[in-house]
Amino acid sequence: MGARIGAIILVTLSTPAWAQGVLPYSGVYGNPAGCHLYATGEMLSDGYQLLTPDTFSSKAVGCDFDALVSSNTVIFTVEAICSPGGRRQVTISQTGQDGYTIRLDQTTFVGPLPPCPEAELLGGNEVSL
């Protein structure tokens, strides 16, 4: 049994989705409060909005991205588990240098969220393995 667990861990760690994230880009995008929260863990206000390759979060909704369903050069659709809302498809659209917008359903849009400043992220809480 121990060998099976070791094999599962090895396969899991070598899977590209784990290494690269669900969305095919790197970086963190958000409003100033979201970028600050990501970099420091400190919440400045309830108005934070934050997009990573694996998640979207705000005070109103949080989504963990499970799988990339479809994509072209500027629009990505992902399967996500959101709270509140449960399982749903979320659309992330690139808006040029402005960053990305997120469509959670037919009436809920967020963004555009610009890239978080690199200097702010250098002291961030993200753990590298």
Q: Give the per-residue pLDDT at 105.
A: 82
CB atoms within 10 A of CB 64: 15
**CA trace torsion 5, 10, 15, 18 (10° rounding):** 80
Q: What is the pLDDT of residues 25-82, one digit of tens each?
A: 888 999 999 999 999 999 988 899 999 999 999 999 999 999 999 988 889 999 999 9
Q: What is the pLDDT of residues 3-27, one digit of tens each?
A: 433 333 333 333 333 346 888 888 8
pTM of the model: 0.74
Residues 50, 51, 54, 60, CA torsion sign? positive
